[in-house]
Amino acid sequence: MATKAKGKGTKKKTSESSAEKEENEVIADFEKHIYDLQQMLEISRSFCTTIELNPLVESILYIAMAQMRVTGAGIFVINELNDEKGYVLSDHYSGIAIDPTIEYRISVDSKLVEFFTQSNNVFTLPELKEYVPDAGKEFSMLETLSPSLVVPLILKNRLNGILVMGERIFIDGMESAYTNYERDEIQTIASLASVAVHNASLIEQASTDMMTHLKLKFFFFNILEDKLDNAFAQNEKLSILMFDIDFFKKFNDTYGHACGDYVLQHVAKIIKDSIRDEDMACRYGGEEFTVMLCNTDVEGAYLVAERIRKRIEETELVYENNKMNLTISGGISVFSVDDNPVRSARALVDQADKALYVSKANGRNRVSVADGEEIK
């Protein structure tokens, strides 16, 4: 009888252990869902606070890579400012190998884009080949990226981009294929990213001068205020360059306003090509341009300004068979906590503007530096 009683006790204990195990699994699963929801809130907050397209794309890439444990990722997006008729990869990628001989572009008229806009899902490349068998050209291009997953960024039946996930980082015991839970997770991230990309694209268009493709004055000052506050907090230098095309009126008067537009576009391109991605160039008004150089001291700012001035001076323009040369004058101001602690973006730009007019007064085609209220 004692043995029987012991047997019943063991059975009851085993049953309780099984129930406890099941309960612990439910709790663990619940806690994971709570954690993932908190992660999504943080991701959403990150996307919503980034209004510039390039930093936003960079943020999306790193978040997707971290969440899905992949070695790299890239995003195909439309450049509305350049009237692109396709989704291009451009430099919107990290950690994936690019073949320089291939144009990474997906036409807006392709079967692949049509399929994406009709199907709110994520796909492996073999799955896409099965669903869209006649998109051969795009598949050949995508295959060179070795994607583990292709994720459309859909918002209201509009394709705002295509996220390509690279090779997965395998951990012991982890399955090679994406689980349904992981697919749902990356799809949620893609939904948040699609809204952010759409909004950033609208801001990009609204804040950009259509002729020169440089930022407009109001947007430039808005960003400069933030950068100035950050430079003060981090004790960093922040430089402003102000440029004005010398004798610009003669181009309009001699060859017409279309020629003047051509000159503005040429100068804007040289300025934009001469600065880093983290810097910002602006069409300040008429033939004036402003540049913000982040974390740059006076020596660095002068090197950039001189590089721009020399490139413009050395370039010969041809407009309707007329050869033209032009020059540009520049002024520099530098924010410094110790030497020039101005707290107003307007004041810092005004200093550069005063330095610019020193250059004009001293013969043009040169760069002058402002030191606080004192012009050198």
Any domain includes 272: yes
**Residue 1: pLDDT over 50:** no
pLDDT greater than 80 at residue 39: no
Same domain, 200 and 221: no
Asked if the structure places residue 40 within a domain, the reply is no
In the chain, what's the furthest Cα-to-Cα distance? 117
CB 75 within 8 A of CB 96: no
How far is the C-alpha of 149 from the C-alpha of 146, rounded, in Å? Answer: 9
How many structural domains comprise the chain? 2
Which of 206, 229, 247 is the endpoint of a domain?
A: 206
Helices (H), the chain: 2-48, 53-68, 111-118, 125-131, 136-143, 180-206, 217-234, 249-255, 257-273, 298-314, 345-361
Same-domain check for residues 92 and 234: no
Could you give the residue ranges of the DSSP H alpha helices within 69-216? 111-118, 125-131, 136-143, 180-206
> How far apart, in whole angstroms, are the C-alpha atoms of residue 106 and residue 138?
6
**Catalytic site residue 374?**
no
CATH number at residue 138: 3.30.450.40
Q: Are residues 200 and 319 in the same domain?
A: no
Over range 361-373, report the average pLDDT.
86
Residues 71 and 183 in one domain: yes
Q: Is the pLDDT of residue 200 over 70?
A: yes
Last residue of a domain, one of 206, 237, 257: 206
Q: Is the pLDDT score of 6 beyond 70? A: no
Which amino acid type is present at position 203? I
In this structure, the answer to whether residues 355 and 250 fall within a common structural domain is: yes
Domain that residue 144 falls in: 50-206
Query: Which of 83 and 269 is assigned the larger pLDDT?
Result: 269
The letter for the amino acid at 43 is I
Q: Evaluate whether 292 touches 348 at the Cβ level (below 8 Å).
A: no
Q: Please report the pLDDT score of residue 91 as a whole number.
A: 87
pLDDT at 49: 79
* Position 27 in a domain: no
Cα 319 from Cα 53, distance rounded (Å): 33
- Where is the domain boundary, 182, 206, 230? 206
CA distance 153 to 205: 19
Same domain, 356 and 238: yes
Residues 55 and 150 in one domain: yes
* 196 and 222 fall within a common domain: no
- Alpha carbons 89 and 103: distance in angstroms, whole number: 9
What's the chain's average pLDDT? 88
C-alpha–C-alpha distance, residues 35 and 33, integer Å:
5
Please tell me whether residues 274 and 182 are part of one structural domain: no
Q: How far apart are CA 148 and CA 263, in angstroms?
A: 46
CATH number at residue 352: 3.30.70.270
86-127 per-position pLDDT tens digit: 899 988 999 999 999 999 999 998 999 999 998 889 999 999
pLDDT at 373 over 50: no
Confidence of residue 80 (pLDDT cuts 50, 70, 90): low
Return all residues near 87 (Cβ < 8 A) that are at least 6 apart: 76, 77, 78, 105, 106, 108, 113, 159, 161, 162
- Contact in structure between 329 and 366 (CB atoms under 8 Å): yes
pLDDT at residue 122, rounded to an integer: 94
* Residue 82 pLDDT: 63
By the 8 A CB rule, do 350 and 293 touch? Answer: no
The residue from 31, 80, 287, 373 that is catalytic is 287
Q: d(Cα 335, Cα 256) in Å, to the nearest integer?
A: 39
CB atoms within 10 A of CB 106: 22
Q: Which range among 108-122, 269-283, 353-367 shows the weakest confidence by mean pLDDT?
A: 108-122
AA identity, residue 40: M
Same domain, 275 and 334: yes
Q: For residue 293, give the nearest of 269, 274, 311 by alpha carbon.
A: 274
**Residues 46, 59: Cα–Cα separation, whole Å:** 8
Residue 374: its pLDDT value, please? Answer: 43
Q: Are 200 and 53 in contact (CB under 8 A)?
A: yes
Residue 174's pLDDT band, with cuts at 50, 70 and 90, is low
Interval 70-76 mean pLDDT:
95
CB distance 215 to 289 below 8 Å? no
